[in-house]
Structure 1
Amino acid sequence: MQLILRRLQLTSGVVMLVYVFLHLVNHALGIWSLDLAGQGLTLAIRLWHSVPGTILLYGSAALHFSLAIHTLYGRRHWTLPLTDWIRLWAGLSLPLLLIGHAVSTRLAASLYGFEPNYERIVTSLITGGTQGLQLALLAPGWVHGCLGLWLRFRHHERVRRAKPILLAVLILLPLLSAVGFIQMTRAVEAAHAILPALDPTLVQHRLSLDAWRHNLLVLYVSLIIGAVLAGHLRNWIERRAA
């Protein structure tokens, strides 16, 4: 059973890492032009908004999160090496950042027909003053996934020899993504003396989207805290019984 769970964790994690990787690459395309990044976004939407892509992505996300809850509950001690603490922080902080973004894009598209493009997304972020949040959005997931793969495959000789290259990719891709997003922000600001108004769909359904965002965040934090507390309670009961 443990072997099966490890393989499910690896498979679902790889799917999510591919999603994060493509997202970072897409932002990095903004270094060259907003149009090029927009073409990449169109391809990404076709991939992840299709029925197979949706099932694969959100099924993997639900599975990976369920296994994380199982791991938090089952942990017998919290004396961890620094690498594991970094990986844990990166993995748990990603949904806190991603939920708001997903509600404003994917959920708004699914429920209310919002059609995301980079100009609309950048305008929304500038108006809300959350450009910095967007820059930090995918870095935790990228770090978490890369560390997970490294810990899983570091015993292979070829992987150890490729460590400098892997480290360079780990650092450079988020940096290029941040530069690309900054360039897209400047392009939108330069194209409009006054920023265009927020998309009417987002304005019309702002309260509903805010409620979704709040409820999902509360649910996520409650599940994490509940799993940790339940695990501590189980450990305490077992120590008393012993």
Structure 2
Amino acid sequence: MTVRMQTGLRQLQLGSGVVLLGYLFLHLLNHALGIWSLELAGRGLVLALWVWRSPPGTVALYGAATLHFALALRTIYARRHWTLPLAEWVRLWAGLSLPLLLIRHAVTTRLASSLYGFEPDYERVVVLLLTSGTQGLQLALLAPGWIHGCLGLWFRLRHFRWARRIKPLLLAAVVLLPLLSAAGFIRMMRTVEAKSAMLAAPDPKLVAHQFTLNAWRHDLVSFYLLLIAGAFVAGQLRNKVERRRSRSSSLSA
């Protein structure tokens, strides 16, 4: 592969990663607004939905996700060895968990809205998570993607003197935003629970089609995991064939 092509692929990876990091930033910021009030978080959600559901936002988000994942599969396939520094293992683990959040988001909000007219707000989302017992999963899926994106961006910025100079501030921001997001989400859950002794019923549109949505989510997650496993196995087979050819060439020489 030429140097120009490698540079182009790295630029595509960086650009798509920045878009996904922006999505996560807005997601975490929306949750953090819940520290002040459910209504303020709701207004932030309206703005975020306006951004990501617009035609440019939709193309940017899902195009970046597809491109970033395709480049990740290529990296998994092309890797010659798996002796990696700890930071790279953390980034890899965190990055591979991000599509799980995007799949859940796409099915629960975008697909449910397109097919069944479900329009999410934070109270409906919180009720759905509480009644399904997946509120912890929602919080757990955000942090790894944020870590992956911030590590990837730092690996690019660490070569600049100004970035190394403000590294403590960047690290504080990276740590503080997820903590504020978790605190805001917990505050919103308590607010919704305090409105009545019993939680309101989940949105009837989601209840009526929950089985179909769950099937979509299950199939997409299975397909995603299959692609990762396929890229890894194909790469290992390629490495094995290349080692065998190399040994044969050495013997014949």
TM-score higher than 0.5 = yes
SS at match of 1:227: helix
Distance 1:153 1:82 in 2: 19
Normalised TM-score (structure 2): 0.94
Of 107, 110, 118, which residue of structure 2 is paired with 1:106? 110
Match among 49, 52, 55 for residue 56 of structure 2: 52
Code of the residue aligned with 2:185 in structure 1: it is: F
Cα contact 2:97–2:141 (8 A) shared by 1: no
Structure 2: tracts of 5 or more residues without a match: 247-253
Alignment map for 1:38-49 (pairs within 5 Å): 38-49=42-53
Q: Residue in 2 aligned with 1:8?
A: 12
Q: Which residue of 2 aligns with 1:203?
A: 207
Aligned equivalents of 1:41, 1:48: Cα separation in 2: 10
One-letter code of the match for 2:63? G
Partners of 1:120 and 1:199 within 8 A in 2: yes
Is the CA contact 1:97–1:133 (under 8 Å) kept in the aligned structure 2?
A: no
Report Cα offsets for 1:7-33 as digits up to 9, x if no partner.
Answer: 000000000000000110000000000
Aligned positions, number: 242
* Larger deviation, residues 101-110 vs 32-41: 101-110
- Higher-Rg member (1/2): 2
Quote the Cα distance in structure 2 between the aligned partners of 1:53 and 1:98: 14
* Alignment partner of 1:157 is 2:161: yes
TM-score (normalised: structure 1): 0.98
Instruction: Report the alpha carbon displacement of residue 192 of structure 1 after superposing the two structures with TM.
Output: 1.8
Give, in angstroms, the shift of residue 77 of structure 1: 0.5
Instruction: Determine the structure 2 residue equivalent to 1:166.
Output: 170
Amino-acid identity (%) = 68
Residue 36 of structure 1 corresponds to 40
CA contact (8 A) 1:103 1:212 kept: yes
> CA–CA distance in 1 between the matches of 2:216 and 2:6?
35
CA RMSD of aligned residues (A): 0.9
1:126 aligns with: 130
Letter in 1 for 2:151: L
One-letter identity of the residue aligned with 1:215: D
Unpaired segments ≥5 residues, structure 1: none
Shift of 1:193: 2.0
Structure 1 window deviating more from structure 2 (123-132 vs 103-112): it is 103-112
